[in-house]
């Protein structure tokens, strides 16, 4: 796929919720077909989601995974490394989460932390950064040559939209949990993150593991565009399923199974 640099003159209108839900339902049905194909063929797929804080990674991943099996679509969102993990080879804690046959592993942030957050916030040395910048493409080639499909998305959110989302996190009680200790420094270090992004793309946008840029100011459009693109990258066919007939209850051992619950503690039915 050829690289494209598309900067719209004006942002499109926000997608209506009703249209979004209709399109999402269709795409999620296709993800279920993809899931059966991955299991049938024993495929191994990694999908990496990276981007600034507030870019919409979590919502996009939720849209992909909410109608499929967590045993096939596994989401990996690792916390900060422990003291022990800090002494390991950098990729070590990520490798143990890589897929086996019939699995799709989605990384909500990944080994690219070293080239993004760690670089900008000073959590790694210059030597560690430069070393991984050089080694990363070679590691990914080894992964791809080993039969794993590696798909990488960078969610690109504008300065204005990130600011709006952070302000919502500060004021909205149901969003405040999203406000991480890294969010506020991320706002002040916008251009440092931009330079880190540019260096990352220059070094790691390879033929065997290219980056795909997903504009995410409109969350609904971004989710739909991402799912459709993901489906296009993994050729699949609809697996014919055997017809299933629901069996009748075995009445030989029948009894009044509701009467036996009398006197038990029930949740109050307030709704």
Confidence band of 3 (pLDDT split at 50, 70, 90): low
Report the alpha-carbon distance of residue 260 to residue 241 in Å, rounded: 39
- 38 located within any domain: yes
- 75 located within any domain: yes
Q: By C-alpha distance, which of 132, 145, 57, 149 is closest to 91?
A: 132
pLDDT exceeds cutoff 70 at 200: yes
Q: What are phi and psi of 46, to 5 degrees?
A: -120, 135
- 29 located within any domain: yes
The SS3 of residue 16 is: coil
CATH of the domain at 129: 3.40.50.300
Q: What is the pLDDT of residues 42-65, one digit of tens each?
A: 999 999 999 999 999 999 999 999
**In percent, how much of the chain has pLDDT > 90?**
83
Report the alpha-carbon distance of residue 270 to residue 259 in Å, rounded: 22
Burial of 156 (0-12, 13-18, 19+ CB in 10 A): middle
Which residue blocks in 12-108 are alpha helix, DSSP H?
Answer: 17-41, 57-65, 83-86, 92-95
- 8 located within any domain: no
Mean per-residue pLDDT for 139-147?
98
Alpha-carbon torsion (196, 202, 203, 206), positive or negative: positive
DSSP-derived letter for residue 239 is P
Q: What is the pLDDT of residues 72-87, one digit of tens each?
A: 999 999 999 999 999 9
Under a CB-based contact definition with an 8 Å cutoff, are residues 55 and 166 in contact? no
- 7 located within any domain: no
The boundaries of the domain holding residue 92 are 17-235
Report the alpha-carbon distance of residue 15 to residue 9 in Å, rounded: 18
pTM above 0.85, yes or no: yes
- 263 located within any domain: no
Mean per-residue pLDDT for 242-253?
91
Q: What is the pLDDT of residues 174-187, one digit of tens each?
A: 777 777 777 777 78
Q: How many domains does the chain have?
A: 1
Task: Dig out the tokens for 36 from the structure.
Answer: 């059966």
End-to-end CA distance of the chain: 52
- 168 located within any domain: yes
Q: What is the pLDDT of residues 235-246, one digit of tens each?
A: 999 998 888 999
Under a CB-based contact definition with an 8 Å cutoff, are residues 209 and 203 in contact? no
Neighbour tally for 62: CB within 10 Å: 12
- 229 located within any domain: yes
| DSSP per residue, 118-149 | HHHHT-S-HHHHHHHHHHHHHHHHHHHHTT-E
């Amino acid at each position: 796929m050829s690289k494209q640099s598309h900067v719209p003159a004006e942002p499109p209108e926000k997608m209506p919720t009703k249209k979004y839900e209709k399109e999402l339902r269709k795409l999620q049905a296709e993800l279920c077909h993809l899931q059966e194909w991955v299991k049938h063929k024993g495929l191994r797929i990694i999908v990496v989601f990276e981007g600034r804080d507030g870019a919409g990674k979590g919502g996009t991943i939720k849209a992909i995974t909410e109608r499929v099996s967590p045993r096939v679509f596994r989401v990996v969102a690792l916390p900060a490394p422990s003291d022990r993990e800090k002494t390991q080879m950098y990729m070590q804690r990520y490798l143990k989460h890589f897929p086996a046959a019939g699995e799709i592993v989605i990384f909500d942030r990944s080994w690219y932390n070293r080239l993004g957050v760690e670089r900008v916030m000073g959590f790694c040395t210059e030597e560690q950064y430069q070393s991984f910048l050089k080694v990363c493409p070679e590691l990914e080639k080894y992964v791809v040559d080993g039969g794993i499909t590696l798909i990488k998305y960078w969610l690109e959110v504008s300065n204005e939209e990130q600011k709006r989302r952070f302000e919502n996190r500060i004021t909205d009680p149901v969003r405040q949990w999203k406000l991480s200790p890294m969010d506020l420094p991320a706002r002040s270090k916008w251009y440092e993150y931009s330079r880190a992004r540019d260096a990352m793309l220059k070094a790691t946008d390879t033929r065997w593991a290219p980056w795909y840029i997903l504009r995410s100011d409109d969350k609904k459009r971004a989710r739909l565009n991402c799912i459709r693109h993901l489906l296009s990258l993994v050729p699949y066919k609809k697996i014919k399923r055997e017809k299933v007939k629901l069996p009748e209850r075995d009445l030989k051992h029948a009894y009044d199974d509701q009467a036996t619950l009398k006197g038990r503690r029930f949740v109050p039915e307030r709704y």
